Amino acid sequence: MQIKHLEQKNQSYRNIKLSGLTVKAFLNGLANAGAENIDFSKSTVQVILTRANQSHVIAQNNLKVLGLASAVDTLNQAAFADTIDTGFVLTAGVSSMISFQIPFGGVIDLENDDEIYIEVVNNGGLFGDPALYASSYLEIKPIKCTGVERFIPRIRAYVIQANETANQYMLEDNLIRLVVINFDKTSFLTNVINNLIFSSTALDETYTYADLIANKISRYGRQLLPHADADLSVDMQQDQSFVLTDFHQEFDGVTLDMQFNSANVTASNNYIVAWNYSTNWTILAKADAKNKQANAATAAKISASTKGK
């Protein structure tokens, strides 16, 4: 689905398996015209699953919140700087592309009357230069995948209010990813968080600001290109966005107690973004049946390949 300047579009999908969204911004000027900058906060997206006459909101927010929360500590994080002036050049001086993905954290298997509805609204200010308005656009589509559905995911964002000193956030059960994002700080010297306490039924942990920085260095370091002849220049992202837990674990009864450096907490620049899920016996029974079918097929192949040996 392609969405241009000031457009609103929607598209529905059936009979596919998907695990997230891929977003590409094509910045097209003419004759070197147009500063190639983009503000993803000016594009909003909602993803709704309809199943058995019930609606499930998977995600509903602007692309800056969803995108940065998905891209923290990866090379794609550069797409969410205050001023974007770089991308992957497609045509020298005329066209470039910025891309990232928004993972859901699991497979959504659309069968029968199941439907995923994706709506995108591009507002004024998305493209930073009028020279880009006519030919630039976003392309958003589902990430098709294989696998078995075990739950219905959802992504929720919680804003941290300006000048906040401390707060507690109840993040519920079935938490599979949790990040804190910030849009206006570019240095480790201007800390937003002083410390935080992550509590759950399985794990209780206190993170100092130094712990958050150390974890970020470790995670982001894996993304850096080590070769001198690499095509991309890479820098350590010394910002105030942190991954607290990722998709390899899940937690119930999650509470986040946070203490802030209030002087650095500015309005609409700090969010907690959580990936949770819901499930039921119907979903789990289908998953179990499909796993048994796959195991039987694997066993048959092994038997066939070893027969007579």
243-276 pLDDT, tens digit per residue, is 999 988 899 999 999 999 999 999 999 999 999 9
Rounded CA separation 119/140 (Å): 10
- pLDDT category at 87 given cuts 50, 70, 90 is low
pLDDT at residue 93, as a whole number = 59
DSSP run (H or E) holding 11:
strand 8-13
Of 26-40, 51-65, 219-233, the range with the lowest mean pLDDT is 219-233
Question: Cα–Cα distance between 184 and 190 in angstroms, integer?
Answer: 10
Pairing of strands 193-199, 204-208: antiparallel
The answer on pLDDT for 32 being more than 60 is no
Picking from 255, 251, 257, 274, the residue whose alpha carbon sits closest to that of residue 202 is 251
Q: What's the confidence (pLDDT) of residue 231?
A: 52
Domains of the chain: 1-149 (2.70.9), 151-225+232-279 (2.60.120.20)
Other residues' Cβ atoms within 10 Å of the Cβ of residue 188: 17
Residue 107 identity (one-letter amino acid): V
Helices (H), the chain: 63-71, 209-221, 281-306
- The alpha carbon of 288 is separated from its chain's Cα centroid by a whole number of angstroms, namely 28
Buried b (16+ CB within 10 A) or exposed e, 17-42: bbbbbebbbbbbbeeeebebbbbbbb
Mean pLDDT of all residues in 206-217? 92
Structure tokens at 166: 């401390």
Is the pLDDT reported for residue 178 higher than 60?
A: yes
pLDDT at site 221: 64
What is the pLDDT of the chain when averaged over all its residues?
Answer: 87
Closest CA to 209 of 236, 180, 235: 180
127, amino acid identity: F
Q: Tokens 């850096």 — which residue? A: 224
